[in-house]
Amino acid sequence: MLGLKRIRWPVQIRRRALRQLLLARAIRRRKQLRPVIDRTHMIGKRDILAFVTLRNERVRLPYFLKYYRNLGVDHFLIVDNDSDDGSNSYLASQEDVSLWYTNASYKKSRFGMDWINWLLFRFGHTHWCLTVDPDEFLIYPHWDTRPLHALTSWMQATGSRSVSGMLLDMYPKGAVDGQIYREGQNPFDIARWFDPANYTIQKNRFYQNLWIQGGPRTRTFFADNPLSGPALNKIPLVKWNRRFVYVSSTHMLLPKGLNQVYDEDGGETFSGCLLHAKFLSTFATKSAEELDRKQHYSNSQEYHAYHAGLQSGTQLWCEESREYRDWRQLEELGLISRGNWA
């Protein structure tokens, strides 16, 4: 009987239905956000916007904001998920920040993405939007001389709508907590090392995005089961339209065309990196807090691995580690590409 058969809808219909479902979720979850300070009336027509969800990141915020202001972000739209370390009051005092507060479940909001998708829907339409965590720092070819407005103008001229940036885990030589991270400090004064290789890439057929794993976290914490290691593929910069939606963190979006940030015909497409400053002296406290909260993916399995490794004195540095020099070094290693960006 027809009613007992499982209907296999065409892939494009399934993707469209999922996109509409995620947008509906985001619109419903807007009620969980309470505005602390709303300066969105200051956003200009051509402004580049940054979207962030955070909890207890006060020590990181001065450098994070300074970095992205220098890179060309014009306005920050931030969700504070129940911080108790002064992050809320600090952010509220920043003239280019609009801030929302929630004490709702990070896990039940799809790890904050329902909140971010709502803010993107409400304020991101027609803007170039950068979605990052407070420990992620975007770099790309010529980033030191060509800020985001130059990049997005070029992307617009070439008809590109999204920019990929592989998450590149950075770490110190020696114990993660061996050097104290100070407020306002460049985290890469301490976390200066990275894995130059040791990455795997697969193509996700449903979303058409690349799925990247490997690096120091997989090598150190997930060696027995590399497929359970964290995903490193990110698409953080997008010329937003209210029809768009992030599906899982910034790993992939819908419509699927936004995920096709690579060339399958042997050429190279422009790409950057997100330097990931997770592994600083603040990490032990942060990982213990997240274990207690149990608000992360798969019952915080990733943080269980980190905690166990830190307890046993595990270090991320190894003989194959490279000390970070500049973006040209990453281009030589094939970790970023300038494509046609001369």
Q: What is the rounded distance in angstroms from the CA atom of residue 87 to the CA atom of residue 82?
A: 9
Torsion region of 251: left, alpha or beta (phi above 0 gives left; psi -120 to 50 gives alpha): alpha
**What confidence score (pLDDT) does residue 115 get?**
98
Query: In the chain, which residues have pLDDT < 50?
Result: 1-5
**What confidence score (pLDDT) does residue 261 get?**
95
Give backbone dihedrals phi and psi of 89, rounded to 5 degrees, phi first.
-70, -35
Using one digit for the tens of pLDDT, what is the confidence trace for 263-304? 887 778 999 999 999 999 988 787 777 676 665 555 556 666
Q: What is the rounded distance in angstroms from the CA atom of residue 13 to the CA atom of residue 273?
A: 32
**What confidence score (pLDDT) does residue 1 get?**
39
Nearest to 16 by CA among 244, 235, 233, 251: 244
Task: Say which amino acid occupies 73.
Answer: V
Alpha helices in the chain, H assignment, sequence order: 11-29, 61-71, 87-92, 113-119, 148-157, 215-221, 283-293, 297-311, 327-332
Task: Say which amino acid occupies 121.
Answer: F
335 to each of 130, 149, 166, 167, 272, how far by Cα in Å?
A: 20, 23, 8, 10, 8
Using one digit for the tens of pLDDT, what is the confidence trace for 249-267? 999 999 999 999 998 877 7
DSSP 171: B
| Residue 167 near residue 136, CB atoms below 8 Å | yes
Residue 157 neighbours by CB distance under 10 Å: 8
Q: What is the rounded distance in angstroms from the CA atom of residue 257 to the CA atom of residue 259?
A: 5
Sheet holding 165-169, edge to edge: 136-139, 272-276, 165-169
68 is written with which tokens? 């992205």
